[in-house]
Amino acid sequence: MHLPIYQHPSLTVLIDDSATFLRSLAFQLPASMTNLVFDDTDAALTWLRAASPVASMRQGGLRASFDTYGRPPEQCNVAIDIEQICRTSLSPQRFMTPSVLVIDYSMPQMNGVEFCQAVRHLPCKKILFTGAADEKVAVDAFNRGLIDRYIKKSDDDALDTLEAEILTLQDAFFADQSDTLHTLLAVHHSTFVSDPALAALVNQLRDRHGFVEHYLFPSPAGILFYDSEARPSLLIIETDASMDSHYEVARDNDAPPELLGALQERCIVPFFHDGDGMYAGAFRRDWHRYCEAARICQGRQNYYWALFALPPSYMLGPVLPFAQFLRERQNV
Alpha helices (H) in 213-273, listed in sequence order: 240-252, 257-264
Whether the model clears a pTM of 0.85, i.e. scores above it, the answer is: yes
Distances (CA, A) of 100 to 32, 96, 196, 259, 318: 14, 11, 24, 49, 27
pLDDT string in tens for the chain (332-residue length): 678 999 999 999 999 999 999 999 999 999 889 999 999 999 999 999 888 754 444 333 455 555 545 556 555 555 567 788 899 999 999 999 999 999 999 998 899 999 999 999 999 999 999 876 678 899 999 999 999 999 998 888 999 999 999 999 999 999 988 876 766 666 655 678 889 999 999 999 999 999 999 999 988 999 999 999 999 999 999 999 999 999 999 999 999 999 999 999 999 999 999 988 999 999 999 999 999 999 999 999 999 999 999 998 888 899 999 999 999 988 76
What single string gives the DSSP state of each residue in 273-294?
A: TTTTBS--GGGTTTGGGGEEE-
Cα distance between residue 5 and residue 223, in whole Å: 9
